[in-house]
Amino acid sequence: MSFEQLALDPRLLKAVKGSGFQQPTDIQRQAIPLALAGKDLMASAQTGTGKTAAFVLPTLQRLLQPATKRSVGPRALVLTPTRELALQISDAVAQFGQFCRLTTGNLVGGMPYPAQNRMLGKPLDLLVATPGRLLDHMSQGRVNFSRLEVLILDEADRMLDMGFIQPVKTIAAAVPAARQTLLFSATLEGQVLKIAKALMKNPERVQLAANRDRHASIAQHIYQADDAAHKRKLLAHHLVQDELTQALVFTATKRGARRMAKVLDEQGHATAALHGDMSQSARKRTVERMRRGKIRVLVATDVAARGLDICSISHVINFDLPTVAEDYIHRIGRTGRAQASGTAISLVAPDDRSKLNQIERLTGRRLERSIVVGLEPNSRPSRNETRSTRGSKPGTNPGSHFRANNVGKATSGRRNRKGSPLKKGNPRGRASVRRQDANSNALPTLG
Ligand code: ADP
Ligand code: MG
């Protein structure tokens, strides 16, 4: 199916072609006709599948019809959890709407109020907002929703995870009941489903790929570590591999992100931190530098990295495992964007076992345990694992229990900490070795 067959306005089609999209993705194919027909819609699909265009295109098409009411305020409202996402959506709106005469704007935290106040005092076609700042303006009586025709909730699961359930309810209650509601989410379970049903009238449901099928194109590895120092060594090893083009490293705290970026910088990596304490413009600059390839290793916290859309990220490295298992899925979705394949590496200390269990339960599969020769963990994780490694020197006997993974590549192209190439065939060079796991779909055995 082509974009032409979706019956989009020629002005939108022209912009879609201009952005290099050849054909609609699955979610776009399914969601756009329903949204164009004016239906309420709840849609779920994994990250990177093109949900933004799935709601932006039909909404812009609706806005090409003249407004029925003369007043100030927005005709369409997109709610999204973070500033980064709001700005990304605004970019997509500007791109797809470039041949339409529409007024659009965004309302996010960290931006000055006067310009936002002025914007709210005028008629507006589409507004992209984060719930916090929008509520702020609403409580000052500055928002007129009388013209609102479409309410869109993007990354609904994440908005609820971030504690925006009450703001979302308050905002939904303040907009006209006779509206179209579109909800997009990575999952449609539990609370998301509940709130979706509460906000919609006879919604259509589009659901692509369940949890367990997601991220099939992403190789996921677990490396067991004894402690933080061991994790740092494993990280240093992975960061100098040739196949790593750009990495996103997750830490649990802002402080951790800052510190790690400093250490990596001292080791000679092109690196930067991305966290919630940074100003909006500093974050934007950092993301832009990453996108342009000026940064190779970005160290981030969950909130800051949410929705980050950089296609060239080859590796996501969980230095700290996320506290909420769902975040694991969101994190690894930052690699393998738009068809490319990616690698997710999680460094797991003994304290992290229960977090790992939760992640494996959520994803419905046992994640592959890997080791780096020379950096094996001291404490064997389980009897199971011990049995399969005993008696074979890892790397010397790849046929039996271990399979050597890119040994040649790892020893010839690796660099040392300062960034200069290691001696070719360095006998101390470490190769990644992966345990062949015939039973990788089994439930977790650690614990
Ligand atoms: P999601 O919101 O589902 O995580 P996005 O809307 O952010 O996904 O899209 C992910 C990436 O895929 C973006 O870089 C976007 O430009 C690209 N993309 C979206 N739709 C298409 C398409 N039909 N063809 C090619 N690339 C697309
Ligand atoms: Mg999205």
- What is the DSSP code string of 249-315? EE-SSHHHHHHHHHHHHHTT--EEEE-TTS-HHHHHHHHHHHHTTS-SEEEE-HHHHTT---TT--E
Distance 311 CA to ligand 2 centre (A): 14
Distance 306 CA to ligand 2 centre (A): 9
Distance 242 CA to ligand 1 centre (A): 27
116 C-beta neighbours (distance < 10 Å), count: 20
Q: Last residue of some domain: 209, 240, 261?
A: 209
Whose atoms come closest to the Cα of 333: which ligand?
A: 1
Atom of ligand 1 nearest to the CA of 53: 6
152 and 235 assigned to the same domain: no
Residue nearest to atom 24 of ligand 1 (CA): 21
Residue nearest to atom 17 of ligand 1 (CA): 50
194 and 276 assigned to the same domain: no
Residue 401 pLDDT = 30
Map residue 342 onto helix, strand or coil.
strand
For residues 323 and 275, give the distance between their C-alpha atoms in angstroms, rounded to a whole number.
Answer: 17
Q: Last residue of some domain: 174, 209, 244?
A: 209
370 and 423 assigned to the same domain: yes
Residues 6 or more apart in contact with residue 114 via CB below 8 angstroms: none
Residue 9: CATH number of its domain? 3.40.50.300
Atom of ligand 1 nearest to the CA of 54: 6
Question: Is 119 a member of any domain?
Answer: yes
224 and 203 assigned to the same domain: no
- Residue of 49, 89, 184 to test ligand 1 pocket, by largest number of atoms within 8 Å of CB: 49
132 and 58 assigned to the same domain: yes
252 and 318 assigned to the same domain: yes
For residues 61 and 93, give the distance between their C-alpha atoms in angstroms, rounded to a whole number.
Answer: 11
Whose atoms come closest to the Cα of 19: which ligand?
A: 1
Question: Is 442 a member of any domain?
Answer: no
Question: Is 296 a member of any domain?
Answer: yes
What's the CA dihedral at 360, 361, 366, 371 to 10 degrees? 30
Question: Is 337 a member of any domain?
Answer: yes
225 and 295 assigned to the same domain: yes
Whose atoms come closest to the Cα of 330: which ligand?
A: 1
Question: Is 182 a member of any domain?
Answer: yes
Distance 17 CA to ligand 1 centre (A): 13
Atom of ligand 1 nearest to the CA of 338: 12
Q: Nearest to residue 159, comparing CAs of 89, 83, 81? A: 81
Whose atoms come closest to the Cα of 52: which ligand?
A: 1
Question: Is 393 a member of any domain?
Answer: yes
Q: Which two tokens stand for residue 215?
A: 């991220």
Question: Is 444 a member of any domain?
Answer: no
343 and 220 assigned to the same domain: yes
Q: How far does CA 405 lie from the centroid of its chain?
A: 28
229 and 203 assigned to the same domain: no
**Full-model pTM:** 0.58
Contact 299, 260 (CB under 8 A): yes
Element (H, E) at 185: strand 180-185
Provide the domain limits for residue 336: 215-436
For residues 140 and 160, give the distance between their C-alpha atoms in angstroms, rounded to a whole number.
Answer: 24
Residue nearest to atom 15 of ligand 1 (CA): 50
152 and 234 assigned to the same domain: no
Residue nearest to atom 2 of ligand 1 (CA): 51
**HSE-CB of 427 using CA atoms within 13 angstroms:** 0
- Residue of 12, 22, 23, 25 to test ligand 1 pocket, by largest number of atoms within 8 Å of CB: 25
Atom of ligand 1 nearest to the CA of 46: 3
Residue nearest to atom 22 of ligand 1 (CA): 21
For residues 58 and 64, give the distance between their C-alpha atoms in angstroms, rounded to a whole number.
Answer: 10
Q: Which two tokens stand for residue 89?
A: 């959506």
Distance 302 CA to ligand 1 centre (A): 21
Q: Total structural domains in the chain? A: 2
Residue at token pair 């994640």: 367
For residues 232 and 240, give the distance between their C-alpha atoms in angstroms, rounded to a whole number.
Answer: 13
407 C-beta neighbours (distance < 10 Å), count: 17
Question: Is 378 a member of any domain?
Answer: yes
Distance 214 CA to ligand 2 centre (A): 15
Distance 93 CA to ligand 1 centre (A): 13
233 and 202 assigned to the same domain: no
159 and 225 assigned to the same domain: no
Instruction: Report the amino acid identity of residue 59.
Output: T
Instruction: Tell me the average confidence (pLDDT) per consecutive run of 10 residues in the chain, 447 residues long.
Output: 92 94 91 97 87 97 93 97 93 96 94 96 97 96 97 93 91 97 90 92 84 67 95 96 94 95 96 91 92 95 80 92 87 73 93 91 83 86 36 32 32 36 36 37 29
Residue nearest to atom 10 of ligand 1 (CA): 48
- Residue of 287, 309, 335 to test ligand 1 pocket, by largest number of atoms within 8 Å of CB: 309
For residues 27 and 37, give the distance between their C-alpha atoms in angstroms, rounded to a whole number.
Answer: 16
Q: Last residue of some domain: 158, 189, 209?
A: 209
- Pocket around ligand 1 at a 6 A CB cut-off: 21, 24-25, 28, 45, 47-53, 309, 337-338
